[in-house]
Chain A
């Protein structure tokens, strides 16, 4: 067994010898129906471990130092905390019913989570494991993002079709911006200059000026041979320098590559089926995509814009996060 393992590792290493040596990070993938987290070694580009967690894990987020993974276990109505060292669940956060996506304050002290059933955004003290506030938002809150300075929290509500901008200090909504149908995910540019919101059913990405609190532009996707209905934007990742954006297009089985300055679509990369969420490795060498229907993760080489590998994971992968360690 050990020999076989070593041989496989060796084979993988040989296969990637030609590529520049990558830093070894660990990527975590939530398997919605597998009730598990698959851990991927981004150097070997293979799954190294599977951890059983709560039921219906979807949104996952790592603490800045990578020591803990927060897991929205929707069917257990809780957020689980996984110690990434021991791979043991060390606690639960009182998220309210059916948590789906969360985001962390820059200092890691506050967890912001969307509660679809209550039309609330809930704020939880991560250490004390207590709710410290909530904000009423639109119907079926889902996407969560925090401005890089931690001052503005964004929540998208799927049936109200708005991005709600919330002041994290006063816990009050400061702006509501209408976007296209079923907004599911929000992402800031790292310099805080733009907020991108994907609309799954509307089929667009809205680019919002978070300072002026207005819609700047809408990005529309067209793929020859695919009907408009099949193009359903979900996950968004933007490079640190703000130059390139990647948008997962769900059942279109593609990731759109966008010039984040001109907003021009440069390319569509074919990945696995029903692509949900995306995450860069910390060095931005790779972008990993969770493909819900094909039970795998596609690895995109960011420099060459090529899909270099698909890694089998658990059943119905949904979220992905990569550790700095």
Chain B
């Protein structure tokens, strides 16, 4: 291994410097190589001229829960390294920069079973010297983790929870929100539908509490931008699996019934975060109408088909390293890692207080392949970001749409704005 070490001077990008992650065979091989690479790295750190004297190691935990395999499309099945892979790619990118600054970034993976306590996991990470945590958790678990993180002086980067409440009444001063909210997603979709002059919406929501939350977001988008919900229906989840050898025969008969006798409408909106029915709607509605929301035209923070603004470079790096497309959770984790990297580079520190001060300060400007710089809303630590509208194959459009104006940033036409916020950071 050591005689190969000089190759590490180049830091091939598929070689994460250090990875404590769940090892697949490939990862294991890399890990072995990485040890050699690390040794070499330490010896050559002094070689490239650097204004930053002391080597600095930044440890970042990835705290993630298991995502449901109950998806309508097998394309949406979660990968074993969901979220984690994004953080690892972010660390690899940061480490390439780090060879010039004398910084290295480690990823420590903690995967929670359904019964595991998120707060206890934060303690454990704290014992390992981790005070920066990328979280892929439900709202409830995120709050528990944030509470415990406060005791450790740790920062949490929310990569997946879209709940508005986490940015409003339940906002926390140590939680940065990389994922957009339901209301940002709904507003991003609504602006496009208004631009299309599709103002009459038929809303069908599922029977889970999250579906009602998404329905609420769509209702307030309709009110905000001048659309009309002509009728609202509920599709009850009666249980049962998603796969069937009998195929689409029944679905093809059920969906027209669900959507018949509706008042005149332009577009059908589905609120179905648990993937119970929305994916079945396109091409099966009683009236020939487009579907949007949880299926059809979907508002997302990232999609494997996104290629504009140099995004294809990130997609290529991800596929090269992990042999699968990058999903929205991976992307949020990558972005969180990049924000940590950016803050560490600019402050030459891994101290959470210093990083936080930089992140909420005026100098933050994150390049995330969305066509504009991303910044944080200082009042609730939500990342401002464009919303992609994907049909699962292509990016159809990107919101904010032209003509939706704002006095300071058009990105703040998405989701609740400062005057409406219920957040009091503490």
> Which of A139, A157, A178, A202 has the largest number of chain B CB atoms within 10 A?
A139
Query: How many residues on chain B are close to A (CB under 8 Å)?
Result: 32
Cα A23 to Cα B101 with chains together (Å):
49
Indicate which residue in A116, A136, A139, A182 contacts B93 across the interface (CB closer than 8 Å): A139
Indicate which residue in A119, A158, A161, A229 contacts B342 across the interface (CB closer than 8 Å): A161
Residue interface bits A145-158, CB-to-B below 8 A is 1, else 0? 00000000000011
Cα A232 to Cα B409 with chains together (Å):
15
CB neighbours (8 Å) of B316 from chain A are 117
Known: A119-B13, A158-B310, A176-B100. 6 other contacts (CB 8 A): A136-B10, A159-B338, A178-B345, A181-B342, A203-B365, A203-B373
Q: A159-B93, A178-B346 are in contact. Are A227 and B367 (CB under 8 A)?
A: no
Indicate if the CB atoms of A174 and B372 lie closer than 8 Å. Answer: no
Q: A202-B365, A228-B409 are in contact. Are A138 and B96 (CB under 8 A)?
A: yes
CB closest chain-A residue, reference B100: A176
Query: 18 pairs across A/B with beta carbons < 8 Å?
Result: A119-B96, A140-B313, A159-B338, A160-B96, A161-B345, A172-B48, A173-B100, A175-B49, A181-B342, A181-B365, A181-B366, A202-B373, A227-B408, A229-B372, A229-B410, A229-B411, A230-B372, A232-B372
**B56 interface contact, C-beta 8 A:** no
CB closest chain-A residue, reference B384: A229
Q: A176-B50, A180-B365 are in contact. Are A160 and B97 (CB under 8 A)?
A: yes
> Nearest Cβ in chain A — how far from B258, in angstroms?
41
**B9 interface contact, C-beta 8 A:** yes
Cα A316 to Cα B101 with chains together (Å):
37
**A124 interface contact, C-beta 8 A:** no
Report the contact-size class of chain A (Cβ under 8 Å from the partner).
20 to 34
**A89 interface contact, C-beta 8 A:** no
Per DSSP, chain A at the interface is: loop
CB neighbours (8 Å) of A202 from chain B are 365, 373
> Which of B9, B50, B371 has the largest number of chain A CB atoms within 10 A?
B371
Indicate if the CB atoms of A176 and B48 lie closer than 8 Å. Answer: yes
**A201 interface contact, C-beta 8 A:** yes
> Nearest Cβ in chain A — how far from B308, in angstroms?
12
CB neighbours (8 Å) of B406 from chain A are 227
Residue interface bits A37-64, CB-to-B below 8 A is 1, else 0? 0000000000000000000000000000
**B318 interface contact, C-beta 8 A:** no
Binding site for B on A (CB under 8 A): 116-119, 136, 138-140, 157-162, 164, 172-176, 178, 180-182, 200-203, 227-230, 232, 251
Indicate if the CB atoms of B373 and A181 lie closer than 8 Å. Answer: yes
Cα A118 to Cα B371 with chains together (Å):
23
**B201 interface contact, C-beta 8 A:** no
CB neighbours (8 Å) of B51 from chain A are 176
> Nearest Cβ in chain B — how far from A292, in angstroms?
12
